[in-house]
Amino acid sequence: MDTLRIDKDTRLLVLTGAGVSAESGIPTFRGGNGLWENHPVEQVASPEGFRRDASRVWRFYSQRRAGAAPCEPNPGHLAMAEWERKLGDRFLLATQNVDGLHRVAGNQRMVELHGNLFTTRCSRCTREPFEDRLAYPDGTVPLCGECGGMLRPHIVWFGEVLDERNLLRVGEFLERKDTRLVFLAVGTSGAVYPAAGFVQAARERRGETWLVNADPADNTLLFHHFVRGRSGEVLPALVTID
C-alpha cells in the first residue's frame, strides 16, 4: 500500500464523510436506497421539508440521535486523533459528519461543516445553539423557551449556507505559505458541495491529494492517489509522520 509521508515541513488537511463512521455502525447517506420512510432524504433534510412537516423532521432526527448515541469511534477516527496530537497546528480536520465521533476520539482542531446531530437551535430567534440529546420519536416539535418558535436540529440542510467561520478556517489553512499542503479525503462520495470542491482548491495551492474510500467517489479522478478500502483498516497504517 502507498504511504503518505508527513515531515516537519508538511501540513495536513483531512476531509471526512459518512464512510468514516460506517464501521462505528452509522449508516451512510448514499449507500442504501437513500429513502427514509419512503421519503427522499432531501424532503426531511431541507428548510422546505421543515416548513411542510416539522414533526416528520423531528421524528427523523430523533431516530438518528437514538441510533448514533451508543456508537463509538473506530480505528479510523483514532488514527486521525493521533495525527492531530503529533502535528499540532499543522493539522486541520473538516468533517461533513454530524455524529460528533471525531470529538469523542479526541480531535479538537476540527470544523463540523454540516453541523451537529446533538445540537439544537431556534428556527426563529438568535439564541445560541445548545447541546440537546433528547429524542422526540412521537414527532413532538419542541418549542423555544425564549420566543416560543419551533426548535430545529443544528444541521446544515440542502440549500442552506455553511457557517462562514468554518469555511474561513479551511480557507486560511489552505492559503498558508509556511508548509507544503497534503489534502486527504476519507469516506465521502464527493457529491455534496462545497466540500466536494476542496480537492480542487488544494490542487490550486499545489497540494498533494489523497482519497481513501470504499468505492470510487464522484471526484476520484481529481486526486493524485486513490487507496480503495475501509477507513478503519487503511488509516492506521497509511500515514508516516517523521
Q: Of 208, 206, 209, 205, whose CA–CA distance to 196 is shortest?
A: 209
Q: Which is nearer to ligand BJW, 91 or 157 (CB)?
A: 157
Residue 149 near which of ligand BJW, Zn ion, none (CB within 5-8 Å, type-dependent): Zn ion
Decide: helix, strand or coil at residue 127. Answer: coil
Nearer residue to Zn ion within complex by CB, 77 or 152? 152
Q: Under 8 Å CB-to-CB from 169, ≥6 apart: which residues? A: 92, 111
- Contact residues toward ligand BJW (CB under 6 A) are 17-19, 22-23, 28-31, 45, 96, 98, 114, 155-156, 158-162, 187-189, 191-194, 213-215, 217, 230-231
Options 114, 154, 224, 225, the catalytic residue: 114
**Interaction pattern, residues 95-124, with Zn ion; x per rule: CB under 5 A:** ---------------------------x-x
Quick one: DSSP state of residue 36?
A: E
For cell 460528533, the residue is 100
Say how far apart CA 180 and CA 188 lie, in whole Å. 24
Please confirm, yes or no, whether 114 is among the known catalytic residues: yes
Cβ-based nearer residue to Zn ion, 110 or 151? 151
Per-residue x/- track, 133-172, Zn ion (CB under 5 A): -----------x-xx-x-----------------------
Q: How far is the CB of 54 from Zn ion (least distance, A)?
A: 14
Nearest to 120 by CA among 129, 111, 128: 129
Give me the helix-helix angle, 75-87 and 231-238, nearest 10°: 30
Tell me the residue type at 139: G
Residues designated catalytic: 114
Residues near Zn ion, by CB under 5 A = 122, 124-125, 144, 146-147, 149
